[in-house]
Chains A and B, each alone.
Chain A
């Protein structure tokens, strides 16, 4: 008898477990075909800076329900550094992926190539397409189809603490040589460090590379160019900035340390983009917003060059609620929303029409960055663009920490790229 009870209990337990496994699927997404009115849930993965940008984006995203009361928007903030891998994990596994993803420009062709994104041509997600800036729209196209909608566009500049520069009696540096002399003066007069150079993310290396006339790859000629003379020179430049103590850097936790040292006035300058503006204003040095100065990135031997970046909104191909996702994407890239984001966060709109609004053009950050973007260096929008940073990051950090020479570092990256890009020179 006792055996019988135990066996029954076992069977019952197994049954419950199975039921629990099966039950998790239902009810998450309503779907909305037929009636014309959208319903269900739209999950959006945002990657904006936590503590400043995320609040604004969350509110705007949830305001979507004002237009479509039956739709629930689920806002999820995923740290930018993890988002690419997290999305790939979820998209490949087929569960847990968001309906709409804030996809960095370089990730978009890669996601599209892997089949994770829904093509948007002919859907309500694309509205008034001619209005988008040409550079912003470039990264959303892959093999003749449109896979995303540009949300924001950006580039980089040198941010400086006006008070410290004034105290040291220097101007914002126009070239790398200027930067070194300015840093030395700042150290002498105020005891502070000149520049925070981000050493754990190779995106911050790009403006030095472009400044020497180099590039990662030349997609037209199918040639790897990172290990050219310009690439080696750029590696030498960043190494010299750190060795001469003109700049400090970190091999881990770079973003937090950069923002903290700049916001607390421990360093006078940093190279950064519009995405850092809202967070920088929260620092005690910038309680008076006018103290934040901005100038083009310091020029290398071949002139100034900063990367063109930005973010797109892409719809996951496996979304159970495509219609609402398309509508949400359209809403988030509409001129009204872009104007609001520009006003509150100083992020740059991707629609030409938004730049005609007075409140947008008079924002000092946007007024500065718009001409920078027009001249910014565009990367090739091939699926491998998203793969180019990992090998560069390793060698960049190795060069900065003295584990390898600039020559060997650049060569190692080049070899890696040639393995990645089959048949390239």
Chain B
């Protein structure tokens, strides 16, 4: 839910509306009845999608917003169990939940680590993806094999690979530590030490995210005309100059999109954190989404109000980020 909405709003803000909106708007306003009569079939075709989106995105969103303004928890929501019908007794509390979240240390502390996690993951995946894409864009022996192998982490379902990593990381019986002890080194507390656990979760997320970056950037590289490089070579530009002045500008449109997407995904990367550490040790690797999940599913009584509050705040943060990012890009003269 939170993943889709900001990107949609970005797409909408991106100029589509400005360019085409008015024309389309006046057209339908002129003769709504006739439009319905002639286009009923189109409406009927669109209807299922609209209904499904309203049910699976719209309703939870509105409901989440509403719950964040109440003190709803497990004990006061309505529930029907067999013959017992227990009515809802929660109350409207206005913006209290937001004040609590924004003035308490827990939200801000978690936000701090979430930002560190997002920035380091996106930076590392982008850098690695760029390097690998450049390597694989050359004519090297076995190129297609390498491409296949590097896409593999992407092809495996996320939870499967995260579980595999969890086994590798296990301090007592994991393969990584067995290899280390074979080399005569001490065991590393991969997931048991707070700082080490932070590195470990970032490493797994980078491993998972590189294929996407690589494929997207490889596509971008292939769309750069080869003549540019030839011309640059004729002018005596060295490899670094060619990369700096042709490759990077040529990848601009692709990289802005993948960085935005990757930021939103990483910010809300639930499975990696939840399945590897459950936010532990203690709360060392807890990011905003896993903590919001914890509020509404792991603690008791389950705190639905606080969980929704965090959810809404995550959404707002990502929307602000997307708007800001887009503005910076436009200032730099990007048409996107």
Chain A residues at the B interface, C-beta cutoff of 8 Å: 3, 7, 10, 14, 84-85, 88-89, 91-92, 94, 110, 113-116, 118, 199-200, 248-253, 257, 260-261, 266, 316-319, 386-387, 390-391, 394-395, 397-398, 400-404
Contact = CB atoms under 8 A, between A and B. Distances in A.
A401 B80 CA distance: 43
Given A115-B81, A261-B172, A252 B298 contact: no
Interface string B163-205: 0001000111100000000000000000111100100000000
Given A88-B302, A387-B301, 18 more contacts: A88-B74, A250-B192, A251-B191, A251-B280, A251-B281, A251-B282, A252-B191, A252-B277, A253-B166, A257-B170, A261-B172, A266-B172, A390-B300, A391-B299, A395-B282, A398-B283, A401-B281, A402-B194
A391 B106 CA distance: 13
Given A88-B74, A403-B282, A250 B193 contact: no
B172 A401 contact: no
A233 to B, nearest CB: 20
Nearest to A251: B281
Interface string B131-175: 000000000000000000000000000000000001000111100
A386 B300 contact: yes
Contact of B172 (A250, A386, A395, A397): A250
Q: Is the interface of B mostly helix, strand, loop or mixed?
A: loop
B297 interface: yes
A397 B280 contact: yes
Contacts of A398: 281-283
Contacts of B191: 251-252
Interface in B57-103: 74-75, 77, 79-84, 86
Most chain A CB inside 10 Å of its own CB: which residue of B44, B281, B298: B281
B82 A318 contact: yes
B80 A114 contact: no
Contacts of B215: none
A103 to B, nearest CB: 13
Given A250-B192, A401-B192, A94 B173 contact: no
A261 B171 CA distance: 12
22 contacts: A85-B297, A85-B298, A94-B79, A114-B74, A115-B81, A115-B84, A199-B192, A251-B277, A252-B191, A252-B192, A252-B277, A252-B278, A257-B173, A386-B300, A390-B298, A390-B299, A394-B282, A398-B282, A401-B193, A401-B194, A401-B282, A403-B194
B41 interface: yes
A115 B86 contact: yes
A346 B173 CA distance: 29
Interface string B288-327: 0000000001111110000000000000000000000000
Contact of B284 (A88, A199, A403): A403
A7 B283 CA distance: 54
B173 A113 contact: no
A201 to B, nearest CB: 12
Q: Which 4 A-B pairs have the closest CB atoms?
A: A251-B281, A398-B282, A318-B82, A387-B300
Given A7-B41, A252-B277, A397-B280, A115 B79 contact: yes
A113 B75 contact: yes
A395 B283 CA distance: 9
Contacts of A397: 280-282
A261 B166 CA distance: 18
A403 B281 contact: yes
The number of chain B residues touching the other chain, given as a range, is 35 or more
Contacts of B283: 394, 398
B299 A387 contact: yes
B80 A252 contact: no
Contact of A257 (B172, B282, B302): B172
A350 to B, nearest CB: 25
A242 to B, nearest CB: 10
Given A397-B280, A398-B281, A318 B192 contact: no
A114 B192 contact: no
B190 to A, nearest CB: 10
Most chain B CB inside 10 Å of its own CB: which residue of A251, A261, A386, A390: A251
A61 B178 CA distance: 41
B316 to A, nearest CB: 26
A400 B83 CA distance: 47
Nearest to B277: A252
Contacts of B192: 199, 249-252, 401
A21 B282 CA distance: 42
Contacts of B282: 251, 394-395, 397-398, 401, 403-404
B85 to A, nearest CB: 9
Most chain B CB inside 10 Å of its own CB: which residue of A88, A257, A394, A404: A394
Contacts of A92: 74, 77, 79
Most chain A CB inside 10 Å of its own CB: which residue of B83, B86, B301: B301
Nearest to B276: A252
A387 B84 CA distance: 24
Nearest to B170: A253
A19 to B, nearest CB: 16
Given A251-B280, A252-B277, A398-B283, A317 B193 contact: no
Contacts of B277: 251-252
A397 B279 CA distance: 12
Contacts of A316: 81-82
B280 A317 contact: no
A279 to B, nearest CB: 16
B309 to A, nearest CB: 16
A113 B301 CA distance: 11
A253 B193 CA distance: 14
Nearest to B197: A251
Contacts of A91: 81
A269 B74 CA distance: 40
B241 to A, nearest CB: 48
Nearest to A107: B300
Nearest to B83: A317
A118 B282 CA distance: 36
B300 A319 contact: no
A7 B75 contact: no
A260 B41 contact: no
Contacts of B173: 257, 260
